[in-house]
Structure 1
Amino acid sequence: MEENPPLMRVQHLFRKGLFLPLVVGALIAIVILSGLYIYYQKQITIIEGDNVLQVKTFKQDVKSVLEQAGIELNSNDLVEPGLDKRLTEGMEIKISRAVPVVIEADGSQIEIMTVKNTVREVLEGEGFVINPEDKVKPEPDDEICPNMSIEITRVTHEFVNDTKKIPYKLIKKKNESLEKGITRVIQQGKEGLMEVTYKVIFEDGEEVERLVVSENVINEPQDKIEEYGTVDTFTTSRNETFRFSRVLNMIATAYDAGEKSTGKSPGDPNYGITSTGVKAKRGIASVDPKVIPLGTRLYVTGYGFAIAADTGSSVKGNRIDLFHETYKEAMQFGRRKVKVYILAE
């Protein structure tokens, strides 16, 4: 039978009483090594957004355990606690990923990567001072999202003094001794003057609103007072009484059918014919149809009854041209101020 050297060595140790101490020593070594393993191994929790990763590691710092977990960081990402912090049992490591954000303010635009949570935090982190009147869009307490655009509108104001005219009022009064259609100014109107203080609001240097803060009257306006006639009847020098709808103050001239007045001679087929096609005779008046419609019956002081039945190139506005049978009569009538009564229907 062949001898077994390892077995023989064990039997030798056993006979000498050395085997048991060796076994106990080995067990103690195993226990110590196991304790050291457990002592130096740490349970670490890595949190990134909604993702939670549990890691067991012998690494000593945050950076090393992230590398162990295969987590890559960008330069603007935030790790809490910091990368050089020593690991402790049960430590939680939180990773906040930087997102791109655009800020438009003060005439410029910048693009940044940020891990801040709100618009306000981003602006404070970039050194932007927000004044009480400034406008921020989105709202300062809104949460940041990737590719968000933040706009700052600078709002300022200043107070400006200016003067403004105060319009006068027109007061009309009846005058029962004045003919209908005639007005008379009793008192001229005068504009007043007011000093106005405005709060002028600017957005990014452009005026957007002007608010009245105070008004101070320097000169009160003076009302314009007019009288208007209500008398609608007129009695001629021959005691003829008629009703009229209105009366006009006009400049009257005179004309006849001859060449000097109309440019037409007796051989002309249109000689003595008005623009409305009726024969020219005393009582025909040439008018501006925009002032007196053709066909209107009239009474003209210093001339008599007439009908608006002719027009002329020089008869415009407040002018009336009255027909006479002869050139001599027309010249004698001349040019004068008249009242033209528009007869009632």
Structure 2
Amino acid sequence: METFNSSKDFLRGINKKVFIAVLSVAILMTTFSAMAIRKDVVLVCDGNEINITTFGGTVESLLNKQGIEIGEEDKVIPELHERVTDGDRIVIHRAFEIQLVDGNEETTIVTSRKTVEEALNSLYIELGQMDKVQPDLQSTLEPGDTIRITRILKETITENQEIPYQTTIKYNDDLDYGKTTRIQEGRSGVKEILLEVTYEDGLEVSREVIEEKIIQEATNEIVEKGTSRYLVTTRGDSRRYKDVIVMEASAYTAGYESTGKTPGDPYYGITRSGTKVRPGVVAVDPRVIPLGTKLYIESMDRTPSYGIASAEDTGGAIRGNKIDLFFESREDALRFGRRKVKVYILD
């Protein structure tokens, strides 16, 4: 009887040890399992960075447990459907408004992208090779920024341009002064121009000549112009002249007051040219009007003109555009005084 009781006590002791051992293993397995599914992650949201311990699930379930709402345009990295792994860094990029000016169209868009390039890619906006973007593609976006896309188009066009004809003037001394005769009609030419035209947002901003080709040469106009000049004297005669000069005129006589000579002087009344002084003889500066030149003296103050004259004399005070007119009487010379006249140099 004692033996049987001892066996029962022995079995009871063995069962207890087994139970404790099994329990210990179960606890260890549970602990290991919990440690295996535990995840330590970093959550970055609205400028804050916090450490979170979680036991699995997706990024979306983690954010739901934290009471964090995600807007439709917000961007989460890793994405919401991905499972959380130990050491993850979960970053929430909140969406914000920016202005997009694409050519002539302006819209407000909501984006969570960080750079200009990312924002345009998310909107499936294609850029041409020559299009310009401001700010540049790698610039960081901030709320309220404006992205401006300038659409650039270049095209090659051909234009015909008129080549104006020139006028060539030929002078003819046998043709009256002021008269013209057309010898050859002028005709415009044509030039073909190849242009590269640049447009920005549909507006032309520049055009560059690539090539020019003359289709038709211009024909110059040839005009003959008369240089022969004529004047009508007070007597009604027509005289041809080659130049006219406005001069200051004075008057002199053969007497002592003008020449310093008296009638007994052998050179009394003799001009510098050796001719006898007479009405129509004038004294000039030979550097301006050579001696022997035929002249016509025209009044400029509505008084009678002196008329036809001959440059035969000189005077000590006659220099430059000055002329001295001979009068027979001292009274006429004094009456004439000094005045402006037109001196026509006759052919």
Task: Identify the TM-score tier after normalising by the shorter chain.
Answer: 0.5 to 0.7
For the residue of structure 1 that corresponds to 2:62, the secondary structure is helix
Matched, 1:144 2:141: yes
For the residue of structure 2 that corresponds to 1:90, the secondary structure is coil
For the residue of structure 2 that corresponds to 1:217, the secondary structure is strand
- The separation in 2 between residues aligned to 1:166 and 1:140, in whole angstroms, is 47
Residue in 1 that maps onto 2:198 = 201
Q: TM-score, normalised by structure 2?
A: 0.54
Shift of 1:148: 1.8
Q: Which amino acid aligns with 1:103?
A: L
Summarize the Cα distance change of 1:186–1:244 in structure 2 as closer, same or farther, 3 Å threshold.
farther
Please say if residues 234 and 242 of structure 1, whose CA atoms lie closer than 8 Å, have aligned partners that are also in contact.
no
What are the residue-to-residue correspondences of 1:231-242 with 2, within 5 Å?
none
Q: TM-score, normalised by structure 1?
A: 0.54
- The separation in 1 between residues aligned to 2:129 and 2:100, in whole angstroms, is 19
Summarize the Cα distance change of 1:74–1:180 in structure 2 as closer, same or farther, 3 Å threshold.
same
TM-superposition CA deviations, 1:143-184 (whole Å, max 9, x none): 322222222333334433332111233445566777877766
Between the aligned residues of both structures, percent identity stands at 29
TM-superposition CA deviations, 1:233-274 (whole Å, max 9, x none): 98986989784169xxxxxxxxxxxxxxxxxxxxxxxxxxxx
Summarize the Cα distance change of 1:113–1:17 in structure 2 as closer, same or farther, 3 Å threshold.
same
Higher mean alpha-carbon deviation, 47-56 vs 28-37, is at 28-37
Structure 2, unmatched stretches of 5+, are 1-8, 247-295, 303-341
Superposed CA RMSD in Å reads: 4.5
Summarize the Cα distance change of 1:208–1:239 in structure 2 as closer, same or farther, 3 Å threshold.
closer
Residue in 2 that maps onto 1:125 = 122
Residue in 2 that maps onto 1:111 = 108
Summarize the Cα distance change of 1:245–1:215 in structure 2 as closer, same or farther, 3 Å threshold.
farther
- The separation in 1 between residues aligned to 2:241 and 2:176, in whole angstroms, is 13
What are the residue-to-residue correspondences of 1:264-303 with 2, within 5 Å?
none
Summarize the Cα distance change of 1:43–1:162 in structure 2 as closer, same or farther, 3 Å threshold.
same
- The separation in 1 between residues aligned to 2:115 and 2:28, in whole angstroms, is 53
TM-superposition CA deviations, 1:169-200 (whole Å, max 9, x none): 34455667778777665544432221223333
Residue in 2 that maps onto 1:219 = 216
TM-superposition CA deviations, 1:273-321 (whole Å, max 9, x none): xxxxxxxxxxxxxxxxxxxxxxxxxx8xxxx956586xxxxxxxxxxxx
Residue in 2 that maps onto 1:67 = 64
Residue in 1 that maps onto 2:41 = 44
For the residue of structure 1 that corresponds to 2:40, the secondary structure is strand
**Total equivalences in the alignment:** 247
- The separation in 1 between residues aligned to 2:240 and 2:199, in whole angstroms, is 72
Residue in 1 that maps onto 2:244 = 244
- The separation in 1 between residues aligned to 2:48 and 2:78, in whole angstroms, is 17
Residue in 2 that maps onto 1:192 = 189
